[in-house]
Amino acid sequence: MLPNSVDLPLDINSVKGFLDDDEAKALYQHAIAAAQRGPILEVGSYCGKSTVYLGAACKQHNSVLFAVDHHRGSEEHQLGEEYHDPDLYDVRFKKMDSFPEFRHTLARANLEEVVVPIVAPSVLAARFWSTPLAMVFIDGGHSMEAALNDYRCWSGHVMRGGLLVIHDVFPNPADGGRPPYEIWKLAQESGLFEALPLVKSLGVLKRL
């Protein structure tokens, strides 16, 4: 039985991010169950909103969250794009950099002893990965290449009975981009995962 309440260590509205409240609650509930079985990994931390939910769940069960993000932003975060945030732009290198804000979030949430930041592209971080994972949350770049890379790199590390969770899954093309939906479908077609009901755009799949 999953818990209905969300016990967070800080005001989550003070953290930059794009996670819907209902989706965040579902993410936390599934993470509570998963953290009892092993470590969790997320791809795409940004400023740490999802990290707080996942990390708080891990902390309750003395588990660990691996947070993979190169912190240079996705396509939509770049200078001149729709979701660009000038506060996260490093003028010295002319690059977006969310890592300082991410570290600030971890400190405020008292999660520095729970979360292991991996500041690297997803493909590089996964190259020699061998640790079985109780849950993988994919919320990285939304290009087809990025989504496929994240799926191919990490889905195979989900332990039996574990969860693969994908954000921004939109069955209706009018609602959003296709790549997260496409990898959600690929997971089902692989025969290795069974889809649980969508929570808005949060796709949850259980490893068989």
Distance CA 24, CA 123 (A): 26
Distance CA 128, CA 145 (A): 20
94 pLDDT band, cuts 50/70/90, is: confident
For residue 187, the 8-state DSSP code is H
5 pLDDT band, cuts 50/70/90, is: low
Summarised one tens digit per residue, pLDDT across range 39-50 is 999 999 999 999
Domain boundary assignment for the chain:
15-71+123-207
Enter the tokens of residue 137: 């949350």
Q: How far is CA 150 from CA 44, 79, 103, 147, in A?
A: 10, 24, 23, 5
Q: What angle do CA 126, 87, 84 make, to 5 degrees?
A: 65
For residue 76, the 8-state DSSP code is G
Residue 42 and residue 51 in contact, taking contact as beta carbons nearer than 8 Å: yes
Look over the chain and give the mean of its residue pLDDT values, rounded to a whole number.
92
**Residue 93 C-beta-side C-alpha neighbours within 13 Å:** 7
User: Which helix (DSSP H) or strand (DSSP E) does residue 34 occupy?
Assistant: helix 21-35
User: Residue 85, class by beta-carbon neighbours within 10 Å (0-12 exposed, 13-18 middle, 19+ buried)?
Assistant: middle
Q: Can you give the pLDDT at residue 193?
A: 98
Active site residues: 142
Residue 148 and residue 181 in contact, taking contact as beta carbons nearer than 8 Å: no
CA 19 to chain centroid, in Å, comes to: 10
Q: What is the CATH number of domain 15-71+123-207?
A: 3.40.50.150
> Whole-prediction pTM value?
0.92
Q: Can you give the pLDDT at residue 2?
A: 42
